[in-house]
Amino acid sequence: MNWLTNVVRPKIRNMLRRETPENLWIKCPDSGQLVFYKDVEANQFVIPGSNYHMRMGAVARLKSIFDNETWFDVALPEVTPDPLKFRDEKKYVDRVKDARARTNLNDAIKVGYGKLEGAAVVVAVQDFDFMGGSLGMAAGEAIVRGMELAVEKNSPFIVFAASGGARMQEGILSLMQMPRTTVAVQMLREAKLPYIVVLTNPTTGGVTASYAMLGDVQIAEPGALIGFAGARVIEQTIREKLPEGFQRAEYLKEHGMVDMVVHRHELRPTLARLCRLLTKAPAQEGASKSVLPVASPAQIVSAAETAPAAPHA
């Protein structure tokens, strides 16, 4: 008890109390550095000192990719809200309601259609804050619908993957989304449209085992955790100690599982260059240009890594 609680009347105490937002400061998971939230937000959720890439919400991600931060939200098909009437500590429908209230999203994936350096693209973003970005029926429908729209508009499809895997509350129905999304990827291939995957932290489980590893070009953000099973499960299964940095983006690039590891600040111009190279489209005036013709995936990746950075729109 201090003098404020002992002496000052309750009404006056309420006047003196200042409301401080919980997220005013952010602690860097890597260095332990305390950073002002607004500074991190202005830096695309990258910690200025350590360059640690924090998770980025679906809306913020779409703003960072599309020209002038504007796009059309793609209407997604409705699905059965609780097909198995699942309940653990609380009802599945209540968990979904809580996630929707907290994130202002309908489900784990948001799809937008707009311009990237003047070229039309369809972008799907998986939000880890919505039940761990888990792949359920709604998320599967979002991916399939996004790819169908890309075929309709004859435009590239870009997906930002972030997930803990399939949604256990939907059982086999969630696992069925793995072959469904794989078939949708094949639909893009038959239409000869670019499919670019950006792996963010973390991308694991059934998402990694399906559409997240089927891109024409695989990009990862620095330090992203990417894998199917957890490191501890793997160690217990093979009874061996895993290498340092196993399942991290840089390790996977060294071993050929990822084409590029791209800093978030360079992601937008890199994606724009890749889309132009894969569609043989001319560069927009003022955007970065590349003289390398479309050829093998290795040449495409090399061109995207070495071309000069484009100014932000």
CB 123 within 8 A of CB 198: no
pLDDT in tens, 163-182: 999 999 999 999 999 999 99
Question: Collapsing DSSP states into helix, strand and coil, what is residue 35?
Answer: strand
Question: Collapsing DSSP states into helix, strand and coil, what is residue 298?
Answer: helix
Tokens representing 27 are 């602690």
Question: Hey, which residues does 203 pair with through a beta bridge?
Answer: 163, 226
Q: How far is CA 268 from CA 82, 156, 229, 259, 310, in A?
A: 37, 14, 30, 16, 9
CB 59 within 8 A of CB 148: no
**Domains of the chain by range and CATH?**
22-54 (no CATH), 55-279 (3.90.226.10)
Give the pTM: 0.84
CB 302 within 8 A of CB 291: no
pLDDT in tens, 263-302: 999 999 999 999 999 998 877 665 544 333 333 444 445 4
d(C-alpha 278, C-alpha 295), whole Å: 9
pLDDT in tens, 190-239: 999 999 999 999 999 999 999 999 999 999 999 999 999 999 999 999 99
Please report the pLDDT score of residue 284 as a whole number: 66
Query: If you compute the radius of gyration of the chain from its CA atoms, what whole number of angstroms results?
Result: 22
d(C-alpha 108, C-alpha 111), whole Å: 10
